[in-house]
Chain A
Amino acid sequence: MIYKGSAWKFGRDIDTDAIIPARYLKTSDPAELGKHCMEDADPEFINRAKKGDVIVAGENFGCGSSREHAPISIKAVGISCVIAKSFARIFYRNAINTGLPILESAEAVDGITTSDEIQVDTDKGEITNLTTGKVYYAKPFPGFINDIIQQGGLINYMREKVKMQVD
């Protein structure tokens, strides 16, 4: 997939309470969760982020809780993918399992500032900063993880497996 959008840059250790505060976890409705995405990190984000935009962050993005509400709220805003220097491990799993594209590249993060126009080719792991013209490459995913991503998440992947067994 190829995505294009503006970059929203955040620092390191953006935790799940910053992505979606626990006070909103009394629902799992994506639209409702999307309304509060990144609220405590940048109250303006939710008013100004556009469909296709890209979140760019430092180390340990998504640390903290296991709440899948975090990638769900990011997807609900229409964010196309998250690029970070590194991801906290449960967030990493959750993103893969829910089909939110994520890419790890410290160079890309250092080379992108807020509002830069970014193009991401998730199949190749290629990140292009259209504003500066620079190109970066993210670490590829291991094979079996790639299968899950290709199927659009773990549930689709499993549904296909179950169907195959029934057939």
Chain B
Amino acid sequence: MGMTVTEKILAAHAGKNSVSPGDLINVKLDLVLGNDITAPIAIKEFRLIGIDRIFDKNKIVIVLDHFAPNKDIDSAEQCRMVRQFAHKQDLTNYFEVGRMGIEHALLPEQGLVLPGDAIIGADSHTCTYGALGAFSTGVGSTDLAAAMATGEAWIKVPSSIKFSFRGHLNPWVTGKDLILYTIGQIGVDGALYQAMEFTGEAISSLSVDSRLSMCNMAIEAGGKSGIIAPDNKTLDYVEGRSSRTFNVYQSDDDAQYAAVYEWDVANIEPQVAFPHLPSNTRGISEVGDVVIDQVVIGSCTNGRLEDLRIAAQVLKDHEVDRRIRCIIIPATQDIYRQAMKEGLIEIFIDAKAAVSTPTCGPCLGGHMGVLARGERALATTNRNFIGRMGHPESEVYLSGPAVAAASAIAGKITSPEEL
């Protein structure tokens, strides 16, 4: 019987010829990730296991990105504890302020994740790396602790759902819109415990940045992972970023899927998710009058170069509405530098947007743009849960960078077509 790309990767990492959905397997990991929120607990747990050294100093990545640069004394203490551990264990891939970026933008960029890898990260958006054809999933701190000790994790092989996107994308539609549309169709638990496999000509036409945005939000449909089988674009992207060897897997024609969805992207316009669930989506033409106080363009979903280029294209020769705070956060130092070289940062500053050093910051209501009671934000982030960006009585709407930038100019949620 045929296997899906996900099943093939898992079988290879469990030393088996084949696996089936539901199998409980032990997987040898290529990479293990933690951040300043999840690593502190993992480090405490790691110490309880009773061994001193981590399994491989090259395969554990720690990024200080959530509350870094430190927002207050407590977060500074947390980062210090993680920092001391990273130095003591001599981690090759420890990313300090100045070198760090938002983890899920940083790891692909640095060539740390490759096609065919099996990866866990103590962060729910670890599913992002599926965009390069890896099996990658979010876990908790205890899983991270165990993986730091052994380089392995227990995984229940997920069944896969196939999402096939036909046709040509409408103007301003990116991977973010396709994934918001998908979540709107199947709901926030529509892919619970399952692997979401994205295929079709519209997916082939997407840039790697856009694919990363898409797989990033598999978790918002309850998915264990998102995956796009590697093609030439994937191989071009990873080339030169790593000297590590990797394997390219594709799904067999007779692979089994728990469900198959097929959509024509000609019917998909830019999407907006209303509070308080990412599944609460509407096409931009259905949004109506929604006045906003803040726009955030950034995060592990949409803080990549393509996103900044789109935002700049919309913001060029415009100004952000006087009542709006528009905060733009390049997701990594490299993206920041490239945006500077291309003149994007200048466009943002001319438009009266605030540009920040890489950080998760406002995405989780941490710092750099926390909302007051009753305020409303439109963000290119991935979650609009109650209180996600600040006060429990604030509201978050989600969109891609084009709609976010246009809305910053208009002061209300707006299509870039309407400017």
Contacts and interface: CB of A to CB of B under 8 A. Distances in A.
Interface of A: 13, 15, 17-18, 21-23, 25-28, 39-41, 59-60, 63-69, 71-72, 86, 88-90, 93-94, 97-98, 142, 144-145, 153-155, 158-159, 162-163, 166
**What 8 A-B pairs come out closest when comparing CB atoms?**
A94-B140, A26-B74, A97-B142, A22-B364, A60-B189, A68-B140, A66-B124, A68-B141
Contacts of B224: 89
A63 B50 contact: no
Given A66-B139, A89-B192, A154 B146 contact: yes
A136 to B, nearest CB: 21
B142 A155 contact: yes
Interface in B20-60: 24, 37-38, 40-41, 44-45, 48-51
A67 B387 contact: no
A158 B74 contact: no
Contacts of B189: 13, 59-60, 63, 86, 88
21 contacts: A13-B188, A15-B383, A15-B385, A17-B385, A17-B387, A17-B388, A21-B387, A23-B370, A41-B386, A59-B189, A63-B188, A66-B140, A68-B122, A68-B141, A69-B37, A69-B41, A86-B192, A94-B141, A155-B45, A155-B48, A158-B146
A158 B38 CA distance: 19
Nearest to B279: A13
A60 B192 contact: yes
Nearest to A21: B387
Interface string B188-204: 11001100000000000
Contacts of B364: 17, 22, 25, 65
A145 B41 CA distance: 21
Given A26-B67, A40-B387, 5 more contacts: A15-B383, A26-B78, A68-B122, A90-B139, A97-B142
A69 B189 CA distance: 21
A8 B121 CA distance: 32
A107 B380 CA distance: 38
B230 to A, nearest CB: 25
Nearest to B66: A25
B143 A97 contact: yes
Contacts of A66: 38, 121-124, 126, 138-140
Contacts of A28: 40-41, 44, 78
Contacts of B67: 25-26
Contacts of B188: 13, 60, 63
Contacts of A71: 140
Contacts of A154: 142-143, 145-146
Given A90-B138, A90-B140, A155-B45, A60 B365 contact: no
A39 to B, nearest CB: 8
Interface of B: 24, 37-38, 40-41, 44-45, 48-51, 66-67, 71-72, 74-75, 78, 121-124, 126, 138-143, 145-146, 149-150, 154, 156, 188-189, 192-193, 219, 222, 224, 277, 364-366, 370, 383, 385-388, 390, 392
Nearest to B363: A22
Contacts of A67: 37-38, 140
A65 to B, nearest CB: 5
- With a 10 A CB-CB cut-off, give which of B277, B364, B390 has the most chain A CB atoms: B364
Contact of B143 (A22, A60, A93): A93
Contacts of A90: 124, 138-140, 219
Nearest to B74: A26
B386 A17 contact: yes
A155 B44 CA distance: 10
A54 to B, nearest CB: 22
A59 B50 CA distance: 37
A100 to B, nearest CB: 11
Given A154-B146, A162-B51, A163-B50, A64 B385 contact: yes
A155 B387 contact: no
Contact of A27 (B74, B154, B370): B74
Contacts of B126: 66
A85 B146 CA distance: 28
A65 B44 CA distance: 20
Contacts of A60: 188-189, 192, 222
Given A67-B38, A68-B38, A26 B143 contact: no
A89 B74 contact: no
Nearest to A61: B189
A32 to B, nearest CB: 9
A67 B385 CA distance: 15
B365 A23 contact: yes
A78 B278 CA distance: 31
A89 B365 CA distance: 23
Contacts of B38: 66-68
B102 to A, nearest CB: 14
- With a 10 A CB-CB cut-off, give which of A18, A23, A26, A60 has the most chain B CB atoms: A26
Contacts of A23: 365-366, 370, 387, 390
Contacts of B37: 25, 67, 69
A28 B67 CA distance: 14
A97 B340 CA distance: 44
Contacts of B366: 22-23
